[in-house]
Amino acid sequence: MVRIISFLWFLLIFHACQEKPLQEVYRTKLVSDWEFKAATDSVWMPAKIPGVNFLDLMQNGVISNPYYSDEEKRVQWVGETDWWYRTRFNLPDSLFYFEGRKLVFEGLDTHADVWVNGVLKLHSDNMFRSYSIDIDQAFIPGENELLIRFHSPLQYNRNQSDSLPYRLPDERVFTRKAPYQFGWDWGPSLVTAGIYKPIFISCFQEMDLQDFYVSTLEIQPEQALMFASFSIESYLSQEVEVQLTSPQFADWQETFRLELDSGWNEIQWKFAVANPKLWWPVHYGEAFQYDFDLEVSSERQIRQASVQTGIRTIRLLQEKDRDGRSFFFEVNGLPVYAKGANYIPQDNFLTRVDSSRIERLIAEVLDANMNMIRVWGGGVYEEDYFYELCSQKGILVWQDFMFACAMYPGDEAFLETVEAEAIQQIRRLRKHSSLALWCGNNEVDNGWKDWGWQQQFNYSPQDEAQIYSDYQQLFESILPRLVREHHPGISYHPSSPTFGWGHPESLTEGDHHYWGVWWGMEPFERFNEKTGRFMSEYGFQAFPDWSLIEKYIPQEGRALYNPLMLSHQKHPTGNQTIEHYMNDYFEVPSDLQTFAYVSQLLQAHGMELAIRYHRIKKPYNMGTLYWQLNDCWPVVSWSSMDYHYNRKALHYRARDAFKTFMIGVEEADGEWFVRVNSDSIHDVNMRLEWQLIDFDGEVLAADGKDIQVPALSNQVWERILFDDLPSFNPRRTLWVGRLLSGDQEKARYLHYMVRPQDLELRSGKEVLQVSLEGDYLVLKASGLVKGLYVEGLKQDNYFDVLPGEELRYKWTESLSAKLPLVRSWNDTKKKSHP
């Protein structure tokens, strides 16, 4: 059978001509005519490449959707099985005239043997690395066969684990594969295999240019000192001319001649650009990027590469101070308060995450007023496009290396593959202006020191010494060295958090994962006392949007403790924990749909408190990243957006709490201290107004003043003595603060004095009028409406409406003239008040 190679990339062959340099490069992906089968099977089935065996099995009708109901448990055999993939492809005669000929595997998942025409050419053991093999005599002009066997990672892990004299806390650590795919407390255990990134042929004449990268070393008053580098594989020793230009610096260029050795050449040099426009994170300025174009020409060949780079410096500062040690990011010398969330992969089956899903997610990050996301160490190093968008939009990326929540082996083969992975990933990602930090791992050091593995696995003192020295070698020696060598100027942090949440130092230095709320069952108000210097994790679970439950859980399973429902709750005591807090802050409704709604109000309530407690402590605290932004399948989890990108209540409330300006109220000694927190880089004239109102809108006290809010400030602007206020019933009264710039409301804060369960609210039906006026949905409240959910409303949702307030929303779904379904805490609470 003759197969055709798809020409998806580019084919640039110009024929020889004496005077002019040539561009002779040939690249094509092997995407067609793939087949696959289980090692134990004889029937080959069509496969899609890049792809994942689970998706191929679904496509061929062998398994049903593992995300549906409890199907996950019926497909566990897939991870226990070895898988074969094969294709045939043609190589034209002319290809063998190229001097450089490679077959490149961008991502094999994971333990794979690769045969070409029956000759074993490669063994891979790391899905985070790319591999390449020479197109040598094993390949022939005409038809070739490529055959790949993927070994079961589960079996591999067991064998490796058995070969050690002690047990490491988790067997998954032996395979360099996305940790979450083995199962997490928000993720299914679906151990994939397959060719999840492209395989392509790459040929070139004379020289191959790679890894072009430009970065900022230092910003001085009138210029920036820059650093550029690229690699070149040359088949000759020869002289080349290098030219670096930028369309934005019209009369600037760097040109020099260079002697290339035959083989691998790495070229680095420094240069300066005058009066550059700097790159800034969102809300701090424009995320401006320059285009840099590189051209390397020899007598007969020319190679080009381009990169977009922001001119900026980013450093993580940790300096001793009177409280302990600071922990903050400085961009171009300016301290930046980090607001955002932790990111996990968007699917268990990675090839389904296309560019539109990446765009959707980054748009949500921006919309929620975040300026940083942490790519958490139990997932994957993301696609370039993800970081490109972050760079374009001004989102800072805290990047973990992919190690999480376990101890890792330290043998030579393991360290060798990890070192190759780290070099490739650092060199791939360093070109992105958004990359702000390399962090060694998630909760490995913290796990070792606090999670009792020593007793659980009965380690001898020698075992302990060995395991921890393996830890230190990788995270305190190898990885920081590689970051220094390949990404100079960017900080490295060995492990997140610096100290576990039980240690007093977690509050005074380092970054902090505070899990006293949720894991420790402490009340939400504890976030106030437990604010560290930089909050890189804290969170609370909520149910996904009801539409997901309807789609993924069959009718008979839709009950809180039904096993089908529980197969989408991966935390061992997740529902009990939600119920416990719900009982303390709201009420526990009896039907699942209402429970799902209240779970979202509950999560939003707790997390909004946390964000405000954190921000109000600026500059002691300089960052707040909640756990977690998104989901990888339909599940009850800590996310603020579910698998279908429905925003949970938290997402909306975080958007408010992350605004540039924030009002906060601290209570002490019979007084309220009203603070205004500004992340604006400008001093701004504003008006601070407040009212104490009852739930029917009667104003009990009010005041206002014009203030000049200094840039990046956080200060008390108002002190309200309780004794000066008229007496009021805290169950029927709230304090409303507003920050106005002209007639624009820049921030609003509703300060309640009791928990939502103790509020005395009138029925929503009585106090809220919902109507459609032309293209507008109109909400009119005569009394306080708490936690209002309007089905289909995207602009805002799960919010409180003040008595007397009238809100109008463009309502495109509207013309059906059918009023949307609404829910409120007023109508959910069993007891309402006349």
CA–CA distance from 476 to each of 472, 481, 496 (Å)? 5, 8, 13
CB of 157 to ligand BMA, least distance (A): 19
Strand-by-strand arrangement of the 131-134 sheet: 11-13, 24-29, 199-204, 100-105, 131-134
Structure tokens at 290: 């320059």
What part of residues 19-78 is at the interface with ligand BMA (CB under 6 A)? Answer: none
Closer residue to ligand BMA, CB minimum distance, 24 or 631: 631
Q: Is 405 in the site for ligand BMA (CB under 6 A)?
A: yes
Could you please report the per-residue DSSP string of 781-819? ESS-EEEEEETT--SS-SEEE-TT-EEEEE-GGGGGTPP
What part of residues 632-651 is at the interface with ligand BMA (CB under 6 A)? Answer: 638
Beta bridge partners of 216: 226
* Residue 568 one-letter amino acid: H
Rg (CA), the chain: 29
Closer residue to ligand BMA, CB minimum distance, 487 or 513: 513
Closer residue to ligand BMA, CB minimum distance, 169 or 378: 378
Find where tokens 């100290």 sit: 499
Q: Is 184 in the site for ligand BMA (CB under 6 A)?
A: yes
Per CB under 6 A, the list member of 71, 106, 185, 293 interacting with ligand BMA is: 185
Structure tokens at 163: 């070969």
The DSSP H or E segment spanning 744 is strand 744-752
Closer residue to ligand BMA, CB minimum distance, 233 or 537: 537
Closer residue to ligand BMA, CB minimum distance, 79 or 187: 187
CB of 452 to ligand BMA, least distance (A): 16
Q: Of 107-115, 184-192, 600-608, 782-790, which segment contacts ligand BMA by CB under 6 A?
A: 184-192
Closer residue to ligand BMA, CB minimum distance, 405 or 688: 405
Say if CB 650 and CB 606 are below 8 A apart: no
Q: Is 182 in the site for ligand BMA (CB under 6 A)?
A: no
Per CB under 6 A, the list member of 150, 186, 343, 459 interacting with ligand BMA is: 186
Nearest to 240 by CA among 218, 255, 224, 219: 255
Q: Could you give the string, one character per residue 506-545, with x where binding to ligand BMA holds by CB under 6 A and - elsewhere?
A: -------x-----------------------x--------
Nearest to 222 by CA among 278, 269, 270, 281: 278
CA–CA distance from 162 to each of 165, 167, 174, 461 (Å)? 8, 8, 11, 20
CB of 261 to ligand BMA, least distance (A): 46
Per CB under 6 A, the list member of 128, 543, 627, 652 interacting with ligand BMA is: 627
CB of 442 to ligand BMA, least distance (A): 5
Q: Is 400 in the site for ligand BMA (CB under 6 A)?
A: no
Say if CB 789 and CB 828 are below 8 A apart: no
The answer to whether the bond into 834 is cis (omega within 30° of 0) is no
Nearest to 335 by CA among 528, 620, 535, 684: 620
What part of residues 418-477 is at the interface with ligand BMA (CB under 6 A)? Answer: 442-443
Find where tokens 């590189």 sit: 294
The closest residue (CB) to ligand BMA is 185
Structure tokens at 110: 């994971």
CB of 327 to ligand BMA, least distance (A): 18
Closer residue to ligand BMA, CB minimum distance, 604 or 632: 632
What part of residues 355-394 is at the interface with ligand BMA (CB under 6 A)? Answer: 378
Q: Of 181-189, 204-212, 227-235, 260-268, which segment contacts ligand BMA by CB under 6 A?
A: 181-189
Determine phi and psi for 665, rounding to 5 degrees.
-125, 125
Q: Is 631 in the site for ligand BMA (CB under 6 A)?
A: no
How many residues bind ligand BMA (CB under 6 A)? The answer is: 11
What is the three-class DSSP state of 114? strand
CB of 186 to ligand BMA, least distance (A): 6
The answer to whether the bond into 619 is cis (omega within 30° of 0) is yes
Q: Where on the chain is the footprint of ligand BMA (CB under 6 A)?
A: 184-186, 378, 405, 442-443, 513, 537, 627, 638
